[in-house]
Structure 1
Amino acid sequence: MKKFLAAALAAFFAVFLLVCPKAASAAVSEAISACLEIIVPSLFAFSAVSVYLQKSGIYRIVLKPFTFVLSKILRFDEEICGIFLLANIGGFPVGITLISALQAENRISRKDAGRLLCCCFGSGPSFVIGIVGARVFGAIEFGAAIFAACFLSSIIIAVIVRARGEIVLKPAPQKLSLTSQTFVSSVNAAARAMFSVCVMIAGFSVIAAAMREIGLNALAETLFANLNLGENSGAILPAILDVTCVKDVLPTKNAATICAGLLSFGGICVFLQVSALSDGVPLAKFLLSRLPAAALSSAFALAFTQGLPVAAQAIAAANPALPQNLGLSLCTLAMCAILLNEERFASAG
């Protein structure tokens, strides 16, 4: 059955590419532009710094005040609390990157790695505040409220994970590793994550274009309209497929709850990116945790945005995102390609 389904989907997309080449090309072009202008600038630096903080051990010092408090709340080891913080401020790829590294080092079991991933997953503040807040609402206060809602949702999920059993992390030497090798390997890890993210976004843009052409978007819009989602009914399915499409949500009264829910859910494109970076980390419990996390985030966002003036939501959705430097984005992608190429040659040698 799986082989038949895979063959049918392959045949469908082959026909789509032959019949609608302009639509496919335009979708990929738009996706690449989004990666260059939004995704890479908002995620790469956070991802690289987060991985470096973990690999070097500096996070034990920098995050000590926060991990100490969190360890009392969550009843996790302080090192796990540090990974939790890095994952929720670094962006979607960071959590799975850090956890898969721990599993590769045999410091955590496969089962515990899968459980930990349930709460070590979130969009970083750079994207949520700088892009969603500024672009959708024209006010970073909304972005901050949405990020706080998503972060609190992750804390609740972490409490539930811990209530179902301790997560055991084997001890490791506590000395700092500030070598150039640590820095390069951290940037390499971030580069791999960005490469996976950008490729998957481009690929999913073609899937989304095909769904538009055959009318699935219109069908989904009608379905969500019946759920009283109003003007944003047409934005839900694209964001479920690729969460970066949350930037296209309209600033209606329920937009904050929609954005928070979609960001905590993550989207199918992100799920596939996580799978590509998982290196054997089991994903079943992580996937099951996404709907409860989305519901919690939506509820918290509704509460957190009540005090914000409704007038701020009426700002045109066409407000541009925070200015990005396309040249720097191109340089970043070029650096990613160079580092990946160097790593390939190093492993071959």
Structure 2
Amino acid sequence: MGSYSRLFFLIIILFLAVFMLLNPQETVNAASSGFKLWFSIIVPALLPFFILAELLVNLGVPRILGILLEPVMRPLFNLPGCSSLVVVMGFTSGFPVGAILSKKLYDEKMISGEEMSRLVSFTNNCSPLFIIGAVGVGMFGSPFLGYILALSHYLSNLIVGMFWGQRTKKPLRNISRLPLSQELSQALAEARENYCGPGKLLSDAIKNSLN
């Protein structure tokens, strides 16, 4: 199967190369339009949220939220409390912020691979501005319809998250039994220890977000 897929991919590449040679003007126009779309719409819409997400993770916010919201996230979604940040950002910022934050928590070893798969399945959503503004008002001319679409969209995703949580064996990981105040003190101490100053923190966040 691998050899057939590689051959198919090679045929597509050759076809595109021939098309570009035969239609240079259309190729340049398409590339220019794609770059303008990326520069004028994609980057301004997503880059601020990427930078904010990087800053929140590097400042230790998911760990603190994880301690506070563990009693809520475990019964609802069978996920650690740190995933609450992904839920909030995924439902308010729109995709692909939910997917990127899920991977970020996985890279930081705050969630397992199985938990990341379940988390991204219901947090990589459309943003409210897109559903209500672009779809409801822009396409259908009805803010009310936009709210109905947003409600159905987010409610169905929450149901998916709860469904997968209930179908998963519990517990997936050892849950700390330390007192809440002691856990918070440890999390704040780790955050202060890992703090490297606002300049480096911001530069790293911008660099990672651009990548």
- Same-fold call, TM cutoff 0.5: yes
Matches of 1:125 and 1:14 in 2, distance apart?
40
Deviates more, 1:144-153 or 1:173-182: 173-182
Give the structure, 1 or 2, with the largest relative contact order (CA under 8 Å, sep 6 or more): 1
SS at structure 2 position matched to 1:37 = helix
Q: Residues 90 and 142 from structure 1, CA distance in 2 versus in 1: closer, same or farther, beyond 3 angstroms? A: same
Q: Alignment identity in percent? A: 23
Aligned ranges 1:59-70 → 2 under 5 Å? none
1:189 aligns with 2:208: yes
Does the CA contact (< 8 Å) of 1:48 and 1:186 recur in 2? yes
Matches of 1:144 and 1:89 in 2, distance apart?
14
Larger radius of gyration: 2
Matches of 1:80 and 1:103 in 2, distance apart?
10
Task: Quote the residue 1:208 is aligned against.
Answer: none
1:162 aligns with 2:165: yes
Matches of 1:3 and 1:131 in 2, distance apart?
39
Of residues 94, 97, 111, the one that matches 1:94 is 97
SS at structure 2 position matched to 1:119 = helix
Task: Quote the residue 1:246 is aligned against.
Answer: none
Tell me the TM-score normalized by structure 2: 0.70
Q: CA deviation at 1:162?
A: 0.5
Task: Quote the residue 1:15 is aligned against.
Answer: 18
Equivalent pairs, count: 192
Of residues 140, 148, 157, the one that matches 1:137 is 140
Aligned ranges 1:1-349 → 2 under 5 Å? 1-58=4-61, 72-165=75-168, 166=170, 168=173, 174-175=187-188, 176=191, 179-180=197-198, 181-192=200-211
Matches of 2:47 and 2:12 in 1, distance apart?
32
Matches of 2:174 and 2:17 in 1, distance apart?
46
Matches of 1:49 and 1:156 in 2, distance apart?
27
1:187 maps to amino acid: I
Matches of 1:61 and 1:106 in 2, distance apart?
15
Deviations 1:110-169 (A, max 9, x none): 233223221221122343344444432345544444333322222111112202214548
Q: Residues 67 and 186 from structure 1, CA distance in 2 versus in 1: closer, same or farther, beyond 3 angstroms? A: farther
Matches of 2:152 and 2:11 in 1, distance apart?
40
Q: Residues 59 and 139 from structure 1, CA distance in 2 versus in 1: closer, same or farther, beyond 3 angstroms? A: farther
Deviations 1:194-219 (A, max 9, x none): xxxxxxxxxxxxxxxxxxxxxxxxxx
Tell me the TM-score normalized by structure 1: 0.46
Does the CA contact (< 8 Å) of 2:77 and 2:164 recur in 1? no
1:183 maps to amino acid: L
Deviations 1:279-327 (A, max 9, x none): xxxxxxxxxxxxxxxxxxxxxxxxxxxxxxxxxxxxxxxxxxxxxxxxx
Unaligned runs of 5+ in 1: 193-349
Deviations 1:9-60 (A, max 9, x none): 1111112212233333333333333333332222222332233233324467
1:174 maps to amino acid: A
Matches of 2:37 and 2:54 in 1, distance apart?
24
RMSD: 3.5
1:107 maps to amino acid: M
Does the CA contact (< 8 Å) of 2:77 and 2:165 recur in 1? yes
SS at structure 1 position matched to 2:122 = coil
Matches of 1:67 and 1:161 in 2, distance apart?
17
Matches of 2:105 and 2:96 in 1, distance apart?
15
Matches of 2:56 and 2:174 in 1, distance apart?
18
